[in-house]
Amino acid sequence: MVELNAAVALLGRFPALTGVDLRIEPGETVLLQGPNGAGKTTLLRLCAGLLAPESGSVTVLGHDLTTGPERRAVRRRVGLLGHSTGLYEDLTVTENVRFWARAAGLDAEPSVERVVGALQRLGLDDGLLDLPVHRLSAGQRRRTSLAALVVRRPELWLLDEPHAGLDQAGRNVVDTLIGDAVAAGGTVVVSSHELERVRSLSPRVVTLAGGTVHRDTNA
């Protein structure tokens, strides 16, 4: 599913990952932790095909991500929730979710039921669906961004601080979402600073420090 061997990645000239060895099996949930600047976000972006490894090897869903075409090919199979929401302010919640589903290569326009279902699962009530995104709160935007991932049903979920900006109810929804993704056979990698919350999601915790895997526990 995901395999990195001595993977090195640069941010500009700065080596953000200095030699990561990591293997994640299909259907597994892995928690990434580590201090700021440890390389968590870079690792997720590398696995999503947004960054090219400077050296070493990175294979995700059978794609060798050292080549550009393979990096582009893997992106449609991966769902990355990053720090920004990627939403268009002047489009409505529903229009945003549909756009991102179509952009990700879903052959048919996702049905209204599917879009609404995804939004409702994330606690966005019907009254919000036709509102432009610029009228939403930060938490509602975050949920909309997550809904865009849910509709796509990616094989590999890469969630970077998915609880950030959400209230308690929203955080519970994210936990349920991760559980659902795993139950549906998806593989999930979650980066979070909220250790107590995320530890309940998976026994496997990978700790990054200084751009490399410092500890990999499965207890």
Q: How far apart are CA 184 and CA 194, in angstroms?
A: 25
Pick the stretch among 71-79, 166-174, 189-197, 199-207 that binds other proteins (CB under 8 A).
71-79
- Per DSSP bridges, beta strands 2-11 and 156-160 are unpaired
Angle at 158 between CA 155 and CA 160, to 5 degrees: 160
* Cβ-contact 203, 218 below 8 angstroms: yes
Pick the stretch among 100-108, 160-168, 175-183, 192-200 that binds other proteins (CB under 8 A).
100-108
Pick the stretch among 23-31, 95-103, 119-127, 188-196 that binds other proteins (CB under 8 A).
95-103
3-state secondary structure of 127: helix
Task: Name which of residues 122 to 141 contact other proteins (CB under 8 A).
Answer: 132
Instruction: Output the smallest distance, CB 1 to other proteins, in A.
Output: 18
Query: What is the Cα Rg of the chain in Å?
Result: 17
Q: Using the rule CB under 8 A, is 88 a contact of other proteins?
A: yes
Tokens of 32: 């990434």
3-state secondary structure of 125: coil
Q: Using the rule CB under 8 A, is 54 a contact of other proteins?
A: no
**Count of CB atoms situated within 10 Å of the CB of 160:** 20
Instruction: Output the smallest distance, CB 2 to other proteins, in A.
Output: 16
- With CB under 8 A as the contact rule, the residue among 103, 112, 184, 195 that binds other proteins is 103
- With CB under 8 A as the contact rule, the residue among 22, 104, 122, 190 that binds other proteins is 104
Instruction: Summarize as ranges the residues that interact with other proteins (CB under 8 A).
Output: 48-51, 68, 72-76, 78, 80, 82-91, 95, 99-100, 102-105, 132
